[in-house]
Chain A
Amino acid sequence: MAFLQVDHATKYFPNPSGEGSVCIFRDVTIKIEKGEFVTTIGHSGCGKSTLLNIIAGLETMTEGGVILNGREASGPGLDRMVVFQNFALMPWMTVFENIALAVRSAYPDWNREQVAAHVHKYIALVGLKGAENKRPTALSGGMKQRVGLARAFSIEPKVLLLDEPFAQIDALTRGVIQEELIQMWNTSRNTVFMVTHDVDEAILLSDRIMLMTNGPEARIAEIVDVTVPRPRSRASIIEHPHYYRIRNHIIHFLVRHAKHEPDSDAVAAEVSVSAVPVEVNFEKESPRAQLTAL
């Protein structure tokens, strides 16, 4: 059994037009090993953020279950911390207070000095020394998400859930924070589940990338192994021969699934009927992967 497992998850939403309900995704199974960094990419509305919220326990699923470390995880908890797309920092608290709120919750028997020392350690880690007493309004988007990351890492969760964490940050800052995230993850080695739109971000950060088809009734169609060795940086990663093959493969997948009707492409047809995700690994060089990478 994997460390984190989403087991046959199915989600229905009530139909906005009235009667009945819409199936967002059906029978999604995800297996993530301890210390693995797994990303899901898909078009807007495919339910990938819903999937993340279900793992976090913030939303319920219609059928299925989440198993973490051999136990069913229901409802939100400190073992599954989310980094939110719009930061979700309390605007009435300072940077220090925002992180301290989390640290105090995770370590309730720590005294004031222990909490403060821990908070300062993580503030230093994201390079926000000197901004401890600022409120989120006084920070740029990049700095806000650094606080969000510090808050998430500070409680040392079993699973870190990143919900399009850099979508609201300008492109130049995004690259810098992505590399900071790599550094933090290298030392902590949390299990991470990330949701994103950004293909380059996914390749830079992930061990495996799950490609989701469009909703309704979305599924995970393919799982791409990122066969670029770590440590990675934005500059070095593009030199690797597999980088553009992986990138093109994912973009082809996304373009193909942007259309509402599957085209006559043989691979697409095969993918759309297969219930089990196709595993794509460019080191193993399966003929199907070669075909789609072109």
Chain B
Amino acid sequence: MPSGTNSNPWLISGFLLVVFLLGWHFFTMRPTFDPRGMTEEQLQLMEFNGDIIRTTDGGYTWNPEKEKVKGVPGPLAVLEKARTELAEAFEKKGTNDHGIAYLVGYTVSRFAAGFIAASIVAIMLGILLGLNKVLFRAVNPYIQILKPISPLAWMPLLLYTVKDPKWTAVLVVFMAALWPTLATTAFGVNSLRKDYLHVAAILQLSWIKRLFKVILPGAAPTIVNGLRISFGSALVAVVPAEMLLGELGVGYLSWIEWNNLDIAGVIFAILVVGLVGVILDSGFNKLAGLVTYQE
């Protein structure tokens, strides 16, 4: 069979995953504890230090608690961690120890609040700038200066002004999501084909109809592209915002596991961040498919 185009990509994906997991497993595997060649004093000292523990049959084995911070944990350790985390996904054990489902929920709602607010503001401002060339030229230099600023750079100032870490995190997402949508919306509206506006003018459409029947749907494909860029940069910003502000969420999970020196937990948190991103992204793509058209 010829290779390439006819092969199932899922087979290749599965194969790559297996290779990766096996490689990960073997590179992080440590030999089982071998007491041969050690004196009884040495073994007792190691047990006292907590490096090894006595098993029920009288032998010794590596202390699993201490293993967590030695080297990089293998896939089995991460799987075990994931299993325990998912088992208590919906539990709240304390003010800072909420189940993974809650953490995902906090991050998604924080992300959604910032992203949706930013999108609404950016699209409205973008339309305004796109329709008025003079205003656009007047405001554009400021957009160009503000756009490249990392949203995290705003954080101290936001924290100082709003005095609430919860809203600061939302505002960091807001700042991250604002500029790409604003710039592309202004561009999309500005480069809308004049014919469409001419038709709207001849038909004497009211400005509301003009906006919702002609300008917005006409610029929609460009606006969606801007939203997609905003979406990515907001997703990148939400994790460090949670880390720095200590707000409960999947970004915070990664940091708290690091503070606990639970490296398997850190890897688990990274995977959760990735998964949340994929879920949000696919939802976004479904939404985008509804408003785009072919010329």
A residues neighboring B (CB under 8 Å): 56-58, 75-78, 80-82, 84, 86, 88, 90-93, 101-102, 105-106, 135, 137, 155
Give the chain A neighbours of B213 by CB distance below 8 A.
90, 101
**Residue B195 at the A interface, CB < 8 A?**
yes
Give the chain B neighbours of A90 by CB distance below 8 A.
196, 199, 213-214, 217-218
Tell me whether A77 and B204 are in contact in the complex, defined as CB-CB below 8 angstroms, given that A90-B217, A91-B294, A137-B295 are known contacts.
Answer: yes
Ordered by A's residue number, 13 sampled pairs between the chains whose C-beta atoms are within 8 Å are: A56-B198, A58-B201, A76-B198, A82-B199, A88-B195, A90-B196, A90-B213, A90-B214, A92-B217, A101-B205, A105-B203, A135-B293, A137-B294
B residues neighboring A (CB under 8 Å): 193, 195-196, 198-199, 201-205, 213-214, 217-218, 220, 293-295
Tell me if A88 and B293 are in contact (CB < 8 A): no
Give the chain B neighbours of A84 by CB distance below 8 A.
195, 198-199
Give the chain A neighbours of B218 by CB distance below 8 A.
90, 92
How many Å lie between the Cα of A3 and that of B81 in the bound state? 85
Tell me if A81 and B195 are in contact (CB < 8 A): no
- Give how many A-B residue pairs fall within 8 Å (CB-CB): 59
Chain A minimum-CB-distance residue to B295: A91
How many Å lie between the Cα of A101 and that of B202 in the bound state? 12
Give the chain B neighbours of A92 by CB distance below 8 A.
217-218, 220, 293
How many Å lie between the Cα of A105 and that of B202 in the bound state? 10
Give the chain A neighbours of B198 by CB distance below 8 A.
56, 58, 76, 82, 84, 88
Tell me if A86 and B195 are in contact (CB < 8 A): yes
How many Å lie between the Cα of A106 and that of B204 in the bound state? 9
Chain A minimum-CB-distance residue to B221: A92
Give the chain B neighbours of A58 by CB distance below 8 A.
198, 201-202
Tell me if A82 and B196 are in contact (CB < 8 A): no
Interface of B is mostly: helix
Chain A minimum-CB-distance residue to B291: A92
In the complex, how many angstroms separate the beta carbon of B289 from the nearest chain A beta carbon?
Answer: 13
Give the chain A neighbours of B195 by CB distance below 8 A.
84, 86, 88
Tell me if A78 and B294 are in contact (CB < 8 A): no
In the complex, how many angstroms separate the beta carbon of B212 from the nearest chain A beta carbon?
Answer: 11
Give the chain B neighbours of A76 by CB distance below 8 A.
198, 201-202, 204
Tell me if B202 and A81 are in contact (CB < 8 A): yes
How many Å lie between the Cα of A7 and that of B204 in the bound state? 25
In the complex, how many angstroms separate the beta carbon of A64 from the nearest chain B beta carbon?
Answer: 21
A80-B202, A82-B198 given; 13 more Cβ-contact pairs under 8 Å? A56-B198, A57-B201, A75-B201, A76-B202, A81-B202, A84-B195, A88-B195, A90-B218, A91-B294, A92-B220, A92-B293, A106-B203, A155-B203
How many Å lie between the Cα of A82 and that of B195 in the bound state? 10
Tell me if B293 and A91 are in contact (CB < 8 A): yes
In the complex, how many angstroms separate the beta carbon of A180 from the nearest chain B beta carbon?
Answer: 21
In the complex, how many angstroms separate the beta carbon of B272 from the nearest chain A beta carbon?
Answer: 38
How many Å lie between the Cα of A140 and that of B81 in the bound state? 60
Chain A minimum-CB-distance residue to B198: A58
The listed residue with most A CB atoms (<10 A of its CB), out of B204, B205, B295, is B204
How many Å lie between the Cα of A76 and that of B200 in the bound state? 9
Tell me if B196 and A88 are in contact (CB < 8 A): yes
How many Å lie between the Cα of A81 and that of B218 in the bound state? 21
In the complex, how many angstroms separate the beta carbon of A144 from the nearest chain B beta carbon?
Answer: 12
How many Å lie between the Cα of A108 and that of B196 in the bound state? 20
Tell me if B202 and A77 are in contact (CB < 8 A): yes
Give the chain A neighbours of B217 by CB distance below 8 A.
90, 92-93
Chain B minimum-CB-distance residue to A155: B203
Give the chain B neighbours of A57 by CB distance below 8 A.
201-202
Give the chain B neighbours of A78 by CB distance below 8 A.
202-204
The listed residue with most A CB atoms (<10 A of its CB), out of B193, B202, B213, B294, is B202
